[in-house]
Amino acid sequence: MDTSAIEKQSEERINSVFWDGATTQMVKLGRGVLAAVPQCLDSLFPGQSVVVVADQNTFAAAGRRVCEILEAAGREVLDPFVFEEDELHADYDQVEILQQFLAGNQAVPVAVGSGTINDLTKLASHQCSRPYMVVGTAASMDGYTAFGAAITKGGYKQTIACPAPVAVVVDLDVLADAPTSMNAAGYADLIAKVPAGADWLVADALGIEAIHTEAFGFVQTHLREWVSNPSGVRKGDASALLGLAEGLIMTGIGMQRAQSSRPASGADHQFSHLWDMQGHTYEGATPMHGCKVAIGSIASTVMYERFLAMKGTELKTDETSIRAYWPTWEQVEQSILDTFPDASLAEQVVKQSRDKYLDAAALAKRLQCLEENRDAICAKIERQIIPSGELRQMLADAGAPHEPEEIGIDRQRLHASHAQAKMIRSRYTVLDLVSEAGWWTACVDESFEAGGFWA
C-alpha cells in the first residue's frame, strides 16, 4: 500500500468513530492537507468570516500559509490574532484577552498551533458561544480533539469544561518541520496512556469509576501500534509521525466521548500538573507538558511494578490495622496546608482531596474488595503496563526525557512529588492505590533507596 493510501486509511479510521452529537465532525490528516482548510470551512461554516489565532512561532510555521490559502479561496479573512509573548502559557488571563478580541467580531476562529494555542482558543471560543476549528503545527499533545481545556487559573492547573473543535486539520509536512522536541513530547504524552489505562482499570475494578468502554477502546485498541516506532518519531519518519498523530487525535476523541480527561490522564499527568502549579522552570523555560508527563509515566509504572511485587504480602482489611497507618481527614488537610502555602491554591487542593478521602471504615470495605479481586486486578495491570526499563528506553529512543534531571527535577524533589501529586486531584490512581493499601513505603520510598529504581 502506498503512503498516500495509508494516510487516507488513517484519516478514514478517525472519521469513522464519530457519533451522533459529537462536536468534532471532520478530521483531515496527511501530507499537504493545509489546502483542505477552505473545504472544511465551506462545509461547516459556509459564508462566514474567519480569523486565524496563533503565536509568533505557529504563525510562521503555518498560520501565514493558512491565511494565504483562505484568501486565495475567496474567504473573508480578518487580520490574524497573534500572541506576542516569547513564552506563551495557557493562563486564564490570556483566555480573557482572546475572548475580548473575539467578542468584537463574528469570525470563526481557526487556531493554528499546538497545545497552548488550542486550549486558549477552545475556551475563549466557548465563552463567546462560538465553535472553532484547529490546524495542528506539532504532534506535541493529545488535546486537539479533546473535550476541555487545560488552563491555569488562580495558580491552579485545571481542565475547564468546553467543547472540542468542529474540525481538525493536521498536515504531516508541517509536523515534520516542527522541532523534534515537540514531537518527542507528543510521543511521551501518547505513551502515558499505558499507565493511565492501568489507573482506570483499577478504578473500575474497585467500583470507583466505571470504564467508558467506547472511549477506552478509542485510546487503547491501537496504542501499542502507535508507540511502536519511537526512533522513527525522533527521525521524523512519515509513518511514525502518522501513527503518533492518529493516536493523539484518537485520544482526544476518547476524552470527547467520555466528556472527561480520564481516557488520557492518570497519575502520570498529576506529576505534570503539580510541577505546573509550583511554577517549575528549567534553564529559564517551562518544560513541555509531554516532557513532564514522561517522568510521571515512569514513576507510575515503577509504583505498579512494586505493587505487583507485593503479591504475597498480606493486605490489612480490618479497621484497627488500617487506623495504624491511615491519616484522619484533619491530618490530610493540615498536610495540604503545609505543602501549599498559597491560600487559594490550597483551597482547591483541599477540595480535590476531600472528594476522594475515605475514613477507616469505608477504606476497610474498599480494601476487602481489593483483596477479593486482587488476582484479577494484578493480571489486568500486568497485561496493561510496559516494564519500566523498557518504557524508559522507548522514551529515550523518541528523544523524550527519561530521567527527572533532564527537566530539572532532582531525585529528592521527585520523591516528595509523589505525595504532593496525590493531593491535587480527586481522580483515583496508583498513588491512591499504594497509599490506601498501606504500602507507600514499599512502593514509593524504597524505590529511592539503594537498589531501587530511582537510586
Domains and CATH numbers, the chain: 3-178 (3.40.50.1970), 203-209+264-448 (no CATH)
What's the rounded Cα separation, in Å, for the pair 286 and 66?
28
What's the rounded Cα separation, in Å, for the pair 238 and 248?
15
The strand ranges marked E within 74-132 are 81-83, 108-113
pLDDT of the residue at 312:
87
Over residues 407-437, the pLDDT tens digits come to 999 999 999 999 999 999 999 999 999 999 9
Higher-confidence position of 8 and 293: 293
pLDDT of the residue at 2:
64
Q: CA quadruple 103, 136, 408, 264: dihedral positive or negative?
A: positive
3-state helix, strand, coil in the chain (%, to 5): 60, 10, 30
Over residues 187-212, the pLDDT tens digits come to 999 999 999 999 999 999 999 999 99
For residues 6 and 14, the answer to whether their CB atoms sit within 8 Å is: no
Residues 162-177 have a mean pLDDT of: 95
Residues 253-264 have a mean pLDDT of: 95
pLDDT of the residue at 439:
98
The percentage of residues in the chain with a pLDDT greater than 70, rounded to a whole number, is 99
The percentage of residues in the chain with a pLDDT greater than 90, rounded to a whole number, is 95
Residues 357-367 have a mean pLDDT of: 98
Nearest to 305 by CA among 377, 385, 376, 379: 385
Q: How confident is the model at residue 28 (pLDDT cuts 50, 70, 90)?
A: very high
How high does pLDDT run on average in the chain?
96
Task: Specify the DSSP element, H or E, that contains 26.
Answer: strand 26-30
For residues 382 and 308, the answer to whether their CB atoms sit within 8 Å is: yes
Whether 1 shows a pLDDT value over 80: the answer reads: no
Nearest to 175 by CA among 116, 235, 119, 98: 235
Whether 334 shows a pLDDT value over 90: the answer reads: yes
What's the rounded Cα separation, in Å, for the pair 327 and 311?
24
User: CA 187 from chain center: how many Å?
Assistant: 11
Burial classification of residue 24, based on how many CB atoms lie within 10 Å of its CB (0-12 exposed, 13-18 middle, 19 or more buried)? buried
pTM for this model (two decimals): 0.94
Whether 274 shows a pLDDT value over 90: the answer reads: yes
pLDDT of the residue at 154:
87
Residues 159-182 have a mean pLDDT of: 95
Q: How confident is the model at residue 60 (pLDDT cuts 50, 70, 90)?
A: very high
